[in-house]
Amino acid sequence: MFKIGFIKLGNIASSMVVDLALDEIAERTDLSTRVITFGPKMTKVEGEAAAELKSWGPQLVVISSPNAATPGPTLAREHFKDLPTIVISDGPTKKEARDALAAEGFGFIILPVDPLIGAKREFLDPAEMALFNADGLKVLSICGGVRLVQEEIDRSIASVAAGGKELPHILATPEKCAERMDFVNPYARAKATAALYMAQTVASIDAQACFRLKELEAIALTAAAGHEVMRAAAMLADEARELEKAGDSVSRKPHARSGEILKKVKLLDKPEKA
């Protein structure tokens, strides 16, 4: 049985389902999963503690966090340089930083469409935090971000299991994400792509609130604006899904017990081999 380990430092929306998306019905017989999570924390303390996963003996490691260039995730990666490891994060987005990750032997999926939350006490409370992540996850699920991550990890599992080391090196643009959902209705694809661009914009809005603004009113209003954009993106994503449902053309790709990815489109069809 293939052993895949996940380390979750801090939180981005995709990290909430990155492990679950590989075995959505909990019936895979080829996969064993172990998750070490540190909740919202992602300092060097958590990065050092991530090393405990090694004692389990994973064959593939996935490290998810906001901004993978920060000290905690960077330290966590150091512990797994000798293992196939995939970084999933909202950054770094600059090519030089991504090239450095690849040069060190790491795979990566950078998701600018999985944006920074408005993490300021002047605005954010537990309910607002949960709502933002729910909206973000809806956009990523409907518009292709979750499927992109799941398919690429599945591809790496197959490669490592066969003795290889094929890891993704992807900057997940809105277009790349939307392409994975096999939209039939072009208006649905357009709406999904638009929702992803809106989500991508949220990061620059919330960054102002988190790191640049100093006055309470400016912080609260700017963070609220970022979250309103994410809410609108989720509503637009929902419209895209409804268009595909109306045409009975929703792309579904469940896992077989063996781990093979199946496919179906019509609601009343049986899943078949892809």
How many domains are contained in the chain? 2
pLDDT tens digits for range 111-157? 999 999 999 999 999 999 999 999 999 999 999 999 999 999 999 99
Whether residue 90 is found in the same domain as residue 195: no
Q: Can you say how many angstroms the Cα of residue 40 is from the centroid of all Cα atoms in its chain?
A: 16
- Pairing mode of beta strands 272-273, 262-263: antiparallel
Whether residues 101 and 162 fall in one domain? yes
Q: What is the DSSP letter of 255?
A: B
Could you list the pLDDT tens digit for every one of the 274 residues in the chain?
A: 999 999 999 999 999 999 999 999 999 999 999 999 999 999 999 999 999 999 999 999 999 999 999 999 999 999 999 999 999 999 988 999 999 999 999 999 999 999 999 999 999 999 999 999 999 999 999 999 999 999 999 999 999 999 999 999 999 999 999 999 999 999 999 999 999 999 999 999 999 999 999 999 999 999 999 999 999 999 999 999 999 999 999 999 999 999 999 999 999 999 999 8
Question: Domain limits at 219?
Answer: 118-143+181-248
Q: What percentage of the chain reaches a pLDDT higher than 90?
A: 99
Place of tokens 């409370």: 125
This prediction has a pTM of 0.97
Q: What whole-number distance in Å separates Cα of residue 133 and Cα of residue 234?
A: 11
Q: Are residues 59 and 104 in the same domain?
A: yes
Same domain flag for 3 and 127: no
Count of all residues that appear for the chain in the document:
274
- Same domain as 165, residue 93: yes
Is residue 267 within 8 Å of residue 248, measured between CB atoms?
yes
CA distance 137 to 258: 27
125 with 223, same domain: the answer is: yes
Residues 130 and 188 in one domain: yes
Instruction: Indicate whether 52 and 123 sit together in one domain.
Output: no
Could you identify the residue written with the tokens 């208006």?
A: 187
Residue 18 lies in a domain: yes
Q: Are residues 35 and 125 in the same domain?
A: no
Instruction: Tell me, yes or no, whether 127 and 221 share the same domain.
Output: yes
Same-domain pairing of 103 and 233: no
d(CA 34, CA 207) in angstroms, rounded, equals 33
Angle at 78 between CA 77 and CA 83, to 5 degrees: 75
Q: 3-class DSSP state for residue 17?
A: coil
